[in-house]
Amino acid sequence: IDAGEDAQEEYGWKLVHGDVFRPPRRGMLLSVLVGSGVQVFIMTLITLLFACLGFLSPANRGALMTCAMVLYVCLGFPAGYVAARLYKSFGGEKWKSNVILTSMLCPGIVFALFFIMNLILWYKGSSAAIPFTTLLALLALWFLVSVPLTFVGSFFGYRKWCLENPVRTNQIPRQIPEQSIYTQPLPGIVMGGVLPFGCIFIQLFFILNSIWSSQTYYMFGFLFLVFLILVITCSETTVLLCYFHLCAEVRLPFFPWQNITMTFLPLLMNITPFLIENF
């Protein structure tokens, strides 16, 4: 009778306890994106905190941009540390490729887009074009400060002990049953973005209104508070959606990419107006 009751209790997320910690596909790219996300998140948090405390004047846009750039460059250490340690927990051995991608992938994409837009401004003769010497200074900060710090962070992260899973992973992956609508990638991303967008909608309205009206946004105290609420909402939404996926017997490597998208896409969408307004 006890064995029958134990068998009846094995349902939902309990059935995938031996598969949930299976290393995901493209674990290299996942660890690189997580490390870069930590770098951007800490940069945004500290910049908002300084602006909230009055150290950075909103009237002087150069101060905000300089602070954000310096923070991003100096935060290469946590990016490399998190990426290397996460990649090591996946059982990865190509640590050199991991550190190179962490220091080059996301900054390289952003710099390439920035350079293309700047070329268009140069071609049109716009006064908003960035001088060539400034681009060289940005490249110097990237390769002489950010990249070495990322290597140092990866060195310490890869030397740390590997994160151990609380349960043993099954050798044979469990077959994933047919999924319902809310566990599909696209509906899940939409549902995961509704709550974070709702918590920052009012503040987003004021930011966009300032942008289109050519005004300066000064309410950094409210923005910092809403940013904290946004982070908490994204975290709770991710936990809830992870639980839904586990109850639907969705194991790794399928749901981590989806849940990371559902977490950081609304976060990136909501901090973008702040970056546009001030930079």
Provide the CB-side half-sphere exposure for 172 (13 A, CA): 2
- The residue type found at 80 is G
Which contacts (CB < 8 Å, 24+ apart) does range 185-188 have?
Answer: 185/258, 185/261, 188/241, 188/258, 188/262
Angstrom distance (rounded) from CA 71 to CA 101? 20
The structure tokens listed for 276 are 């546009």
pLDDT truncated to tens, each residue of the chain (279 aa)? 444 444 445 555 667 767 777 777 788 888 898 999 899 999 999 998 888 888 877 667 678 888 888 999 999 999 999 999 989 888 888 888 999 999 999 999 989 998 998 899 888 888 878 888 988 998 999 999 999 999 999 999 888 877 777 777 777 767 776 777 767 777 777 777 777 887 777 777 777 777 677 666 677 777 888 888 888 888 888 888 878 777 776 654 444 445 455 455 555 554 554 444 444
- Give the pLDDT score at 273: 47
> Which residues in 216-245 are b (16+ Cβ under 10 Å) and which e?
ebeebeebbebbeebbebbeebbeebbebb
How much is the pTM?
A: 0.78
Return the residue matching tokens 């996460």. 86
The count of other CB atoms within 10 Å of the CB of residue 11 is 10
- Give the pLDDT score at 275: 47
- Give the pLDDT score at 81: 94
Among residues 10, 61, 15, 99, the alpha carbon closest in space to that of 214 is found at 61
User: Nearest 10 degrees: CA dihedral of 92, 98, 110, 52?
Assistant: 80
- Give the pLDDT score at 211: 67
Helix (H, G, I), strand (E, B) or coil at 216: coil
Q: Where are the alpha helices (DSSP H) in the chain?
A: 2-9, 27-53, 61-74, 76-89, 95-124, 132-141, 147-159, 185-199, 201-212, 220-247, 255-278
- Give the pLDDT score at 279: 43
